[in-house]
Structure 1
Amino acid sequence: MIPSIALTRRALLAAAALAPLATRATAQPALPKLRVGTLKFGTLNWLLDTIRAEKLDAREGFALESVNFAGGQATTVALQAGDIDLIVSDWLWAMRRLNDGEPMRFAPFSTALGALMVAPDGPVKTLADLKGRKLGVAGGAVDKSWLLLRAYAKARLGADLIDICEPVYGAAPLVSEQLALGRVDAVLTFWPYAARLDARGFRRLLDMKEVVTGLGIDPSPPLVGYVWRTAIMGEKGAVLASFLRAAAAANTVLATSDDAWTRIRPIMQAADDAEFTRLRDYYRAGIPGSFGEPERASCDKLFAVLAQLGGADLVGQSPRFDRALFAPIGE
């Protein structure tokens, strides 16, 4: 009996030793990973959350990893350092990097632009009413929307807004509160903050899409999109293509399903139902459609306008519009 027990014990031990090998032999290979840099409270998170909830990343055969950053500059630094694979930024920034010898690629994330917001009972009823008034501008002196509004005002009023009103630059939440407190007479701000002001009863005097088309640039092209380094295309080109397909599918869900919005509401930081609804509707209005030759031609025209007004501070010392930035994956 004793030898038999010893043999049985040895057999069990041998089986236990072989079990991990069998498990490894049948385990599925790890999915290729895409590291996406996000702002903690940015709208990109709404899309990424939807991709995960709908299991669109798994369907496309990749693993999605979000890396949160405190500000936009931190995301661009991390992208340039190779710490992350993809961010959302404007293509003007990516074009400048390309012209400086650091090739980038761009695909549209949103066509939503900012808006000029005013109080419904305030003194500003038309663009001309900004004369002698204080205008809050989200961002700085080379903010793209501000430059475009200046160009539009020149065409419509024959005057540069910087000469006829007092711009007050600041962070978007700050200038929104300045409008609410009556310390500025109008605010030019990014679309999520315009949506929040809209929900509070403020009026959209002028949408930036109207500004762009008013400058003869039609169709109005996206300014903001997914940006990645061309250098990773060899290793991760297939994963990037999979991500873009998953993102498009997630946007289809967000465009058609109110339940999907209920699911992501906790991360939207909406103050109330009205703000939640405006944020949803503004996002839906900005879901990108086709991005073909007409849109690329519009980007070229837009670049020329912004380069003229923004100068080297915006587009660098050697500004050049390079369509290679917008080349689809595979080209």
Structure 2
Amino acid sequence: MRKIFAVVALLAAAGCSVAPGAGGGRETVVIGYQSKTINTVTAGTLLRGLGYFEKQLGDGYRVEWQDYDTGAPITAKMVAGKIDIGSMGDYPLLINASRTQGTPAARTEFVSVTGYNLRGGLNSVVVPPSSQVRTLADLKGRKISASVGSAGHGTLVQALERAGLDAATDVEVVNQQPPVGASALQSGNVQGYAQFVAWPGLLVFQNQARLVYDGSALDVPTFHGVVVRQAYAQEHPDVLQAFLRAQIEATRYLHEHPVDAAEAVATATGLPPEVVYLYNGRSGVASFDVTVKPPLLSAMRHDEKYLKVIGADFTDVDVTKFANDSYIRKAYGGSYDADTASTANPAKITGRDDACGIAAEDQATAGELWLAGEDRLRPAATPTCLLRQIAAATTGGKTVRAAYVPDTTTGTHWFAGKSVWVRDPSAGADDVFKPFTTRDGAEAFVKEHSRAEIVGYDEALKAAAGGASR
């Protein structure tokens, strides 16, 4: 499948259609997507690579895929009638609605979700590894790179407010595209970097940044979704249904083949597969589910306030009118209502943990170990059990590609080697070591548990290998 994906991607990049008989006389449908915003892959990168949309459409259409770094240019082209269907984050979706709702010919509708995180874990703030910054409040008076109007920017504004800071006066937000901001962080031109999936994870994985704020701390849902020009949906209902059926199929593929999907997306984008899997794998940061859930609509209404704070040219949006799930409901079938009501991640970690001899069933504690040369990840029942697995594997000469653990408080998955670890002697033998995405979170836990202490990753690894619990 990875080889097929690569061939399809190369053909698409060359301007060739994957459908038979490419060329003359076929109508073009234009899709705007963000290849490296991997929370949208089921409506973008993965969908494009698998060719499901083209198969659903048949020979009568030619699909033109247009790739962007953020949602803003997609919205601009939709307003101009040059993109028919697009995918973007929650804040850009609101801006899209605001830009188009006053012009009937340009009006758009939000029709399906790609992926979401109910706590907000898809957006983060990172700083250079050597930075003295330990909390978001420490960034007062500093420059922070963000894509203005993006989901990452929205999270930053809310997080600063909770930290007692004003985004307009206490920090300087530098409006930059994600790759430009990443370079600015490395050069020291900015001291913080607030972005959406997968940029923070990428920089941390490459040892170019350290996580200082995990969006999950907000406990406000964040998501990405699909938007369509209303006039296009009415004129071409068959095309929109084909797209949504293909998105459903791509979502199912991602759930059933998470490693293959991660490696395929990595091939198409240049992102490390280990980073893609962090967000898109089993119990990853993103839950992929096409249904339009009430908590996500509530979050969208909540976000309007912060778009005004940002200072965007923004007018109030009637979310009820903008969100139209009738299209995805039709494509989805009879289980739509039941699945809309569920917020469980369909891609769960399962299997037996060989280090602790128990099943990895509780998604609040389960993690995974990805070893070089292995096609499947090894399940771990708890973070402590994962540390034992890592120690045993490395002692045996194996190389760790990545190890994933859930934050003890928020459940957000993060790299084990980049987490802040706490030893809690009062916990059971298999639960002694607890990971946190940020030092802030670890310190809050220690404050509430008198015997707990922050320890280094190597110390935790060594202690877990020796079976130390107290």
**TM-score (norm: length of structure 1):** 0.72
The match for 1:137 among 139, 142, 145 is 145
Match of 1:156 in 2: 163
Find the residue that maps to 1:164 and give its secondary structure.
Answer: coil
Match of 2:75 in 1: 76
Q: Deviations over 1:170-190 (max 9, x none)?
A: 222222122223343321123
Question: What letter corresponds to residue 175 of structure 2 in structure 1?
Answer: Y
State how far apart, in whole Å, the 1-side matches of 2:65 and 2:250 are.
19
Structure 1 stretch 46-55 or stretch 243-252: which is displaced more? 46-55
Is 2:97 aligned against 1:95? yes
Structure 1 position 199, deviation (Å): 1.2
State whether residues 37 and 67 of structure 1, in contact with CA within 8 Å, keep that contact through their aligned partners in structure 2.
Answer: yes
Match of 1:243 in 2: 243
Question: What letter corresponds to residue 57 of structure 1 in structure 2?
Answer: F
State how far apart, in whole Å, the 2-side matches of 1:256 and 1:293 are.
26
Structure 1 position 147, deviation (Å): 4.2
State whether residues 78 and 84 of structure 1, in contact with CA within 8 Å, keep that contact through their aligned partners in structure 2.
Answer: yes
Structure 1 position 54, deviation (Å): 4.5
Q: Residues 49 and 64 from structure 1, CA distance in 2 versus in 1: closer, same or farther, beyond 3 angstroms?
A: farther
Find the residue that maps to 2:213 and give its secondary structure.
Answer: strand
Cα RMSD, aligned residues only: 3.2
Match of 1:7 in 2: none
Question: What letter corresponds to residue 251 of structure 1 in structure 2?
Answer: T
State how far apart, in whole Å, the 2-side matches of 1:283 and 1:64 are.
29
Structure 1 gap segments, 5+ residues each: 1-29
State how far apart, in whole Å, the 2-side matches of 1:254 and 1:308 are.
36
Match of 2:32 in 1: 37
State how far apart, in whole Å, the 1-side matches of 2:132 and 2:151 are.
25
Counterpart mapping for 1:6-85 below 5 A = 34-38=29-33, 43=38, 48=44, 50-51=46-47, 54=50, 56-57=52-53, 60-62=56-58, 65-68=63-66, 74-85=73-84
Find the residue that maps to 2:134 and give its secondary structure.
Answer: coil
Q: Residues 233 and 193 from structure 1, CA distance in 2 versus in 1: closer, same or farther, beyond 3 angstroms?
A: same
Structure 1 position 277, deviation (Å): 0.8
Match of 1:27 in 2: none
Is 2:230 aligned against 1:230? yes
State whether residues 94 and 105 of structure 1, in contact with CA within 8 Å, keep that contact through their aligned partners in structure 2.
Answer: no
Is 2:135 aligned against 1:126? yes
State whether residues 135 and 188 of structure 1, in contact with CA within 8 Å, keep that contact through their aligned partners in structure 2.
Answer: no
Find the residue that maps to 2:326 and give its secondary structure.
Answer: coil
Q: Residues 264 and 99 from structure 1, CA distance in 2 versus in 1: closer, same or farther, beyond 3 angstroms?
A: closer
The match for 2:320 among 309, 314, 323 is 323
Structure 1 position 86, deviation (Å): 0.7
State how far apart, in whole Å, the 1-side matches of 2:239 and 2:213 are.
39
State whether residues 35 and 84 of structure 1, in contact with CA within 8 Å, keep that contact through their aligned partners in structure 2.
Answer: yes
Match of 1:294 in 2: 295
Structure 1 position 128, deviation (Å): 1.8
Find the residue that maps to 2:87 and give its secondary structure.
Answer: strand
Structure 1 stretch 119-128 or stretch 108-117: which is displaced more? 108-117
State how far apart, in whole Å, the 1-side matches of 2:265 and 2:187 are.
31
Q: Residues 41 and 50 from structure 1, CA distance in 2 versus in 1: closer, same or farther, beyond 3 angstroms?
A: closer
Question: What letter corresponds to residue 104 of structure 1 in structure 2?
Answer: T
Structure 1 position 39, deviation (Å): 5.3
Q: Residues 74 and 127 from structure 1, CA distance in 2 versus in 1: closer, same or farther, beyond 3 angstroms?
A: closer
State whether residues 195 and 278 of structure 1, in contact with CA within 8 Å, keep that contact through their aligned partners in structure 2.
Answer: yes
Aligned-pair identity in percent equals 19
State how far apart, in whole Å, the 1-side matches of 2:44 and 2:175 are.
31
Structure 2 gap segments, 5+ residues each: 1-24, 330-470
State how far apart, in whole Å, the 1-side matches of 2:323 and 2:265 are.
30
Find the residue that maps to 2:228 and give its secondary structure.
Answer: strand
State whether residues 34 and 44 of structure 2, in contact with CA within 8 Å, keep that contact through their aligned partners in structure 1.
Answer: no
Find the residue that maps to 1:180 and give its secondary structure.
Answer: helix
State whether residues 157 and 310 of structure 2, in contact with CA within 8 Å, keep that contact through their aligned partners in structure 1.
Answer: no
Match of 2:109 in 1: 105
State how far apart, in whole Å, the 2-side matches of 1:31 and 1:263 are.
29
Counterpart mapping for 1:199-218 below 5 A = 199-201=205-207, 202-211=209-218, 213=219, 217=220
Find the residue that maps to 2:318 and give its secondary structure.
Answer: coil
State whether residues 108 and 228 of structure 2, in contact with CA within 8 Å, keep that contact through their aligned partners in structure 1.
Answer: yes
Structure 1 position 227, deviation (Å): 1.4
Larger Rg belongs to: 1
State whether residues 42 and 251 of structure 2, in contact with CA within 8 Å, keep that contact through their aligned partners in structure 1.
Answer: no
State whether residues 143 and 171 of structure 2, in contact with CA within 8 Å, keep that contact through their aligned partners in structure 1.
Answer: yes
Higher helix fraction: Structure 1 or Structure 2? Answer: 1
Question: What letter corresponds to residue 63 of structure 2 in structure 1?
Answer: E
State how far apart, in whole Å, the 1-side matches of 2:62 and 2:201 are.
29
Question: What letter corresponds to residue 245 of structure 2 in structure 1?
Answer: R
Question: What letter corresponds to residue 236 of structure 2 in structure 1?
Answer: K
Aligned residues: 284
Structure 1 position 69, deviation (Å): 5.4
Question: What letter corresponds to residue 160 of structure 2 in structure 1?
Answer: A
Q: Deviations over 1:100-157 (max 9, x none)?
A: 234211122333632101234321111221123x2322223x5453344233322332
